[in-house]
C-alpha cells in the first residue's frame, strides 16, 4: 500500500515543505504541492520536474476556505484518495510583546492556526469516508516554550498543538491519525529572514546538539508520522525535532 499513498503538502514549494515533498517522492508516494507563492511553485516545479508523474502543483492560500476545498478536490481528481496531509504553510515575524500589533498577530493567526485547521478539517472529511488517513501539522518549539519575541508566532503554534490533540481524539474512531512536529530552528529561508546573528548565537547556545536542523531532519519525522506501518499507533502527539532544546537543563562548556 505504500506506493498508493497520496500526500498533500501545504507550503510545499520551499523550506520544510519542499523537503517533505522530496521525502514523500523518495518513498515512491505521490505528492500534491500547494503554496501561495507562485515564484516558489515555479522554482520547485523546475527542480522536481514530473517525478515520474507522481507530483502536481497548485497555488493555494490556506486562509481561503473555498480555495482549500477546491485544492483537495483537485488533488483527489488527479491522484485518487488523499491518504496524508502535511500542514507546512506558515508565516513568522519576531517582535517583543509590547511592539506586536494586532494586525501582525491576526496575520499569523489566519495562516498558521486557522489556515492549518481549515485544511486539516477538509482533508479529514475526505479521509473519514474511507476510514483512514494521517495528518501532520507543523508546529514549533515556540508553541511549547515562552521564547522571547515569539508572542504571536508562539501563540499560533501552541494553538496548532491543541488543534492536533482535539482532532486526534475526535477522529481516532474514523481511522485518522493527527500528529504535530515541533521543530527547533531550521535552516530555511524563513528562519534566515527572522533570525539575527545574535538570535542565532542564542539558539545555538541552548541546543545540546549545537546546530540548527536541516529541513531534511524535519522531513524524516514527517514521513514517519505519515506512514501507518511505522506509526500506526501514534496519534495526538507532538514530536519535538529540536536537537534537545526543549529538554535541556544546565549545559557547561565542557559538554558543548
Mapped onto helix, strand or coil, the DSSP state of residue 223 is helix
Could you report the per-residue pLDDT of 215-253, keeping only the tens digit for each? 999 999 999 999 999 999 999 999 999 999 999 998 876
H or E stretch covering 179: strand 176-183
pTM of the model: 0.95
CATH number of the domain within which 145 lies? 3.40.50.720
Q: Is residue 256 part of a domain?
A: no
| Dihedral pair phi/psi, residue 72, rounded to 5° | -65, -40
pLDDT band per the 50, 70, 90 thresholds, residue 124: very high
- Residue 53 structural domain: 2-245
Look up residue 227 and give its three cell numbers. Answer: 506512514
Q: Is residue 116 part of a domain?
A: yes
Could you report the per-residue pLDDT of 126-161, keeping only the tens digit for each? 999 999 999 999 999 999 999 999 999 999 999 999
Q: How far apart are CA 76 and CA 6, in angstroms?
A: 8
Look up residue 234 and give its three cell numbers. Answer: 501514534
Q: How far apart are CA 92 and CA 50, in angstroms?
A: 31
pLDDT band per the 50, 70, 90 thresholds, residue 256: very low
The number of folded domains in the chain is 1
- What is residue 253's predicted lDDT score, i.e. its pLDDT? 64
Q: Is residue 108 part of a domain?
A: yes
Verify whether residue 233 is a known catalytic residue: no
- What is residue 191's predicted lDDT score, i.e. its pLDDT? 81
Contact between 245 and 217 (Cβ < 8 Å): no
Q: How far apart are CA 155 and CA 128, in angstroms?
A: 29
Per the residue annotation, which of 153, 203, 212, 245 is the catalytic one?
153
Q: Is residue 253 part of a domain?
A: no
Amino acid at each position: 500500500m505504500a506506493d498508493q499513498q497520496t500526500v498533500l503538502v501545504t507550503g510545499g514549494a520551499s523550506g520544510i515543505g519542499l523537503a517533505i515533498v522530496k521525502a514523500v517522492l523518495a518513498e515512491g508516494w505521490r505528492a500534491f504541492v500547494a503554496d501561495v507563492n507562485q515564484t516558489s511553485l515555479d522554482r520547485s516545479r523546475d527542480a522536481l520536474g514530473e517525478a515520474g508523474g507522481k507530483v502536481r502543483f497548485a497555488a493555494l492560500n490556506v486562509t481561503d476556505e473555498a480555495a482549500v476545498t477546491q485544492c483537495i478536490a483537485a488533488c483527489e481528481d488527479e491522484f485518487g484518495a488523499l491518504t496524508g496531509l502535511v500542514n507546512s504553510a506558515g508565516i513568522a515575524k519576531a517582535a517583543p510583546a509590547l511592539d506586536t500589533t494586532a494586525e501582525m498577530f491576526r496575520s499569523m493567526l489566519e495562516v498558521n492556526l486557522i489556515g492549518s485547521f481549515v485544511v486539516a478539517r477538509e482533508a479529514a472529511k475526505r479521509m473519514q469516508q474511507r476510514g483512514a488517513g494521517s495528518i501532520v501539522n507543523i508546529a514549533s518549539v515556540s508553541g511549547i516554550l515562552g521564547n522571547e519575541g515569539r508572542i504571536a508566532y508562539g501563540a499560533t503554534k501552541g494553538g496548532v498543538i491543541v488543534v492536533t490533540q482535539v482532532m486526534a481524539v475526535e477522529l481516532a474512531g474514523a481511522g485518522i491519525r493527527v500528529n504535530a512536529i515541533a521543530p527547533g530552528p531550521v535552516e530555511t529561508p524563513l528562519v534566515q529572514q527572522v533570525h539575527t546573528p545574535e538570535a542565532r548565537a542564542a539558539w545555538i547556545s541552548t541546543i545540546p546538539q549545537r546546530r540548527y536542523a536541516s529541513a531534511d531532519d524535519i522531513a524524516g519525522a514527517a514521513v514517519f508520522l505519515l506512514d501507518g506501518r511505522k506509526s500506526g499507533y501514534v496519534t495526538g502527539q507532538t514530536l519535538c525535532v529540536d536537537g534537545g532544546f526543549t529538554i535541556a537543563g544546565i549545559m557547561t562548556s565542557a559538554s558543548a
